[in-house]
Every structure is written in C-alpha cells, then in structure tokens.
Amino acid sequence: MTRSIRLIADDYGLAPGVSSAILNLIERGRLTGTGCMTGFPEWEEAAARLRPFRRRAAVGLHLT
C-alpha cells in the first residue's frame, strides 16, 4: 500500500508575508495546498496571486 502525505498551510491571505511564503512553498512543491482567509481587505489581490496554482494545490476557504 502506498501512502501520501499532504501538507496544507493555513492562513493564506492573512498578511502579505504569509501569502508570499505559502506561494513560494507551493511553487517549489513543498506544500500541496492552503487554507485561505477571505475576510481580509487584501483578499482579492491575494486570490489573484493564488489563481495560477489552482491545478497544483488544494485550496480551502475560511469564509468568516
């Protein structure tokens, strides 16, 4: 039996530094996904930066 581990970083969209670090790790293949904080003013901009990775990473949304 083969097992895989999925590494998910939480709080994408919380702050620019957090989002940049998460994107960098996804791009390098170190993360398989992220949970997104959608209630922050910068969310639309952060979402646009995440969009190119939509086929490479799982994305979860925190709506509150």
Span 29-42, pLDDT tens digits:
999 999 999 999 88
What pTM, to 2 d.p., does this model score? Answer: 0.89
Residues 6+ apart with CB under 8 A from 60: 8, 33, 34, 35, 36
Q: Examine residue 3 and state whether it is found in any structural domain, yes or no.
A: no
Residue 46 within any structural domain of the chain: yes
Which pLDDT score, from 0 to 100, does residue 45 have?
Answer: 93
pLDDT attached to residue 64: 72
- Which residues partner with 58 through β-bridges? 33
pLDDT tens string 7-55: 999 999 999 999 999 999 999 999 999 999 999 988 999 999 999 999 9
Q: Residue 12: which domain range?
A: 8-62
